[in-house]
Amino acid sequence: MKNKKILVSIAGLMSAHAILISHVEAGENTLIQAPSVPITGNPLGAGSDDLVVPVYVLSGRELSIKRESTIGETLNGTPGVSSSYFGPNASRPIIRGMDGDRVRIMQNGVGALDASSLSPDHAVAIDPLIAEQIEVIRGPATVLYGAGAVGGVVNVIDHRIPKEPLSGVMGRGETRLGGADNERSGAAVIDVGNGMFAIHADVYTRKTDDLTIPSSAQNKLINAGKADHLNNGNLANSAAKSDGGAFGASLTFDKGHVGISYAEFNNLYGTVAEPSVKVDMRSKRWDFSSEVHDLDTLIERIKFRMAFTDYKHQEIDDGTIGTTFLNKGVESTLEAGHAKIGNLSGVVGLQTQNTRFSALGDEAFVPSTETTSQGIYIYEELPIERLKLSIGGRIDKSIVKSAGGGVDDPNTHLPKFGDATSKQFTQKNLSAGALFSIDDNWSIATNLTHTERAPTQNELFSNGAHVATNQYEIGNQNLNVEKANGLDAQIRWKNLKHSFSLGGFYTKFDNFINVYNTGDYKKTDGRLGTDSDLAVANTIGVPATFTGMEAQGKFRIYEGIGDIDLNVRGDYVRATNETTDTPLSRIAPMRIGTGLDYKLGDFASKIDVLHGFKQDRVATNELATDGYTLVNATISYRLKTALNLEAFAKARNLLDEDIRDHSSFLKEIAPMGGRSILIGLRGEF
């Protein structure tokens, strides 16, 4: 029955596609071909239509409408992307069922260097309010972006270092009020230049109250009393207050730029899982960027990027600082693009990273560590008439050092993190792809990958209570490099104002590293416990497969008194532990979405419906999640003013459904927000 639902849903998408192809081929549309969106993270400057890997780009008005409090929720619902939703304040993107360090989050092409991959209650140190474009690469992107990016990449662009000549003054601003969390937020950006020297400045602030929810926070499927601190109608301890800003400056010239920026981000938010605990997060970041291009030599262009981050967050329980997390990191990329050799173009690069992490306090479940890595990569593209071939590879060396120590284990009376130790890994990543243009409208893209990822500090050395996941996590110093082979294929169609893509993927891991409950329990101090305490979870690598499909389309279905576009999308992921032939945990269910966009002059409106099916293919000891239908709507109107003002209103969850995200650790006690309306005003000059 389940497979029939999947086939019927995919068939529905394909039927809509076929009907609209007939509509277009009948000559009922004479619009101009829409340009491909440029991908800033691509070293060869290719547009989204010219890349072998599947890419999703969010920018402009669409980004403004979709902005949420976190990067994860801003992207949640796009094909292939779910979120680790830990209440409205901490949410990291999950791509094709993979999360944590398998999804690399970057800011202007350099790693975010925060602590968000360590635990789902740790927020990403990037606020969507200031983002100007978000790029999502679905599937392995290890060759160009880092050896850990086996699931995908999210790159947030904010243009804090101006890279193009600017003469005069330009800027934008936005303010928002309302929503299920009673958001009060605002952001302002200004850029000033004289054609050679350019300055950027931005500032933003956000305040929210406890999230309004449709009914009880506690899922009806779990025993009463498990979440008695969460009140009906509100998600307790979900309020937040954040602010930040940045200043950047650059010297631009005909063949490049050199610039620097400094940014701060402060975020004080409730953790939801614990009624009295708040996180006080502070991040300071320096970025440097330089590029020269159009050189009349064998090396045609050189690009250098570097970022230094000083990250700190403290977990405060009833005013008392419990655990403090510190992360100081520096990452750099030096990339050189060679002149064309025949039709062959490409780049070679060197990427380095060093992070020093420490967790101080009774609930520190990871020792102080230092992680260093160096990688070299090469990527080449060769167009041959209607065919474009790509090939890439990289080699990385990583060293993860543990300082050991920690409070004594009550069972062994030895330091729980043991002696100081060091682990070294070598990762080799390869990719080969092809993009074939069947004609001016149809194309096929395929990509073969071999990916390798080094175990992280927590996978190797953790030993302690991880309250956010309700587990007592134990690392494994005998872990080897995680290896996987994958195949990705897409068929794409584009005609005038219409586009559609349908793709599938298959990834097989030799040793997928994850934590698995043993059936034992411990108290937070490490003593043996009962089923009301923390589940003991060992870190091991098991053979695993990830398979799935993604579809997305946009079609102009009416032109007359305004224009109407039909949007369709859908995705499905199936992940299996091959050793036990059981599902992996927290895999989002199949989702099918559709919507209509209407535009008439300065007026625009949108209604969007996303249906998430019931997820009953669950891991051992994991509860099923009911299906849901999420209905959102927006309207906007451009005011005829010198500042290009646009007023907008956004209605979310119009059916007021009790929506629980299966990929969330807190799905049993933290539903999504209820029916709400948010209004806002944005402008630019």
Q: For 23-67, how does the pLDDT look when each residue is reduced to its tens digit (9 = 90+)?
A: 333 333 333 344 455 566 567 766 556 667 788 899 888 898 899
pLDDT of residue 48: 57
Handedness of CA 508, 623, 118, 77 (dihedral sign): positive
Mean pLDDT over residues 526-530, rounded?
86
**Of 85, 104, 23, whose CA–CA distance to 396 is shortest?**
104
Q: What is the percent of the chain with per-residue pLDDT over 90, rounded to a whole number?
A: 75
CB–CB of 506/486 below 8 Å?
yes
Q: Which residues of 241-273 are buried (b: 16+ CB within 10 A; e: fewer)?
A: ebbbbbebbbebeeebbbbbbebebbbbbbbbb
pLDDT in tens, 550-596: 999 999 999 999 999 999 999 999 999 999 999 999 999 999 999 99
Q: What angle do CA 460, 465, 468 make, to 5 degrees?
A: 100
pLDDT, mean over the chain? 89
pLDDT in tens, 195-207: 999 999 999 999 9
**Of 343, 406, 364, 349, whose CA–CA distance to 119 is shortest?**
364
Helix (H, G, I), strand (E, B), or coil: what is residue 8?
Answer: helix
Helix (H, G, I), strand (E, B), or coil: what is residue 636?
Answer: strand
Q: Which two tokens stand for residue 584?
A: 């992996």
Q: Could you tell me the CA-to-CA distances from 383 to 51, 294, 390, 447 in Å, in that order?
A: 12, 21, 9, 15
Tokens 């999210």 belong to residue: 154
Confidence (pTM): 0.90
Choosing among 3.40.50.2000, 2.60.120.10, 2.40.170.20, 2.40.50.1020, the CATH entry for 2-684 is 2.40.170.20
pLDDT of residue 519: 87
Q: Which residues of 618-650 are buried (b: 16+ CB within 10 A; e: fewer)?
A: bbeebeebbebebbbbbbbebeeeeeebbebeb
**Of 506, 551, 489, 498, whose CA–CA distance to 53 is shortest?**
489
CB–CB of 108/157 below 8 Å?
yes
pLDDT of residue 89: 95
CB-based contacts of 234, cutoff 8 Å, min separation 6: 210, 211, 212, 213, 217
φ, ψ for residue 614, nearest 5 deg: -60, 135
Cβ of 413: how many Cβ atoms within 10 Å?
Answer: 7
pLDDT in tens, 158-208: 999 999 999 999 999 999 999 999 999 999 999 999 999 999 999 999 999
Is the model's pLDDT at 144 over the cut of 50? yes
pLDDT of residue 38: 56
Q: What angle do CA 502, 503, 509 make, to 5 degrees?
A: 165
Beta bridge partners of 423: 400
CB–CB of 136/128 below 8 Å?
no
pLDDT of residue 412: 75
pLDDT in tens, 366-400: 999 999 999 999 999 999 999 999 999 999 999 99
The strand pair at 534-560 and 471-474 is best described as parallel
CB–CB of 551/571 below 8 Å?
yes
Tokens 């948010």 belong to residue: 678
Which of the residue ranges 100-109, 368-377, 410-419, 456-465 would you say has the lowest mean pLDDT?
410-419
User: Using CA atoms, how far apart are residues 639 and 680, in angstroms rounded to an integer?
Assistant: 13
Q: Which two tokens stand for residue 202?
A: 């931005």
What is the 8-class DSSP label of residue 47? B
pLDDT of residue 36: 54
Position with higher pLDDT, 216 vs 306: 306
- Rounded to a whole number of angstroms, the distance between the first and last alpha carbons of the chain is 55
Reported as a pLDDT band with limits 50, 70 and 90, residue 231 is low
Q: Which residues of 448-465 are buried (b: 16+ CB within 10 A; e: fewer)?
A: bbbbbbbbbbbbbbbbbb
Mean pLDDT over residues 293-310, rounded?
95
Q: Which two tokens stand for residue 105?
A: 């989050």
Length of the chain: 685
What is the 8-class DSSP label of residue 38? B
Q: What angle do CA 35, 37, 41 make, to 5 degrees?
A: 150
Position with higher pLDDT, 524 vs 245: 245
**Of 375, 371, 373, whose CA–CA distance to 401 is shortest?**
371
CB-based contacts of 347, cutoff 8 Å, min separation 6: 43, 44, 335, 336, 337, 338, 378, 379
Q: Which two tokens stand for residue 16?
A: 């809509």
pLDDT of residue 226: 45
pLDDT of residue 142: 84
pLDDT of residue 50: 66
Tokens 């490099």 belong to residue: 481
CB–CB of 558/564 below 8 Å?
yes
Position with higher pLDDT, 219 vs 249: 249
Output the DSSP codes for 501-542. EEEEEEEEEEEEEEEEEEEEEE-TTS-B--TTSEEEEEEEEE
Is the model's pLDDT at 221 over the cut of 70? no
pLDDT of residue 643: 83
Helix (H, G, I), strand (E, B), or coil: what is residue 570?
Answer: strand
Q: Could you tell me the CA-to-CA distances from 237 to 21, 230, 317 in Å, in that order?
A: 50, 8, 12
pLDDT of residue 219: 63
pLDDT of residue 28: 39
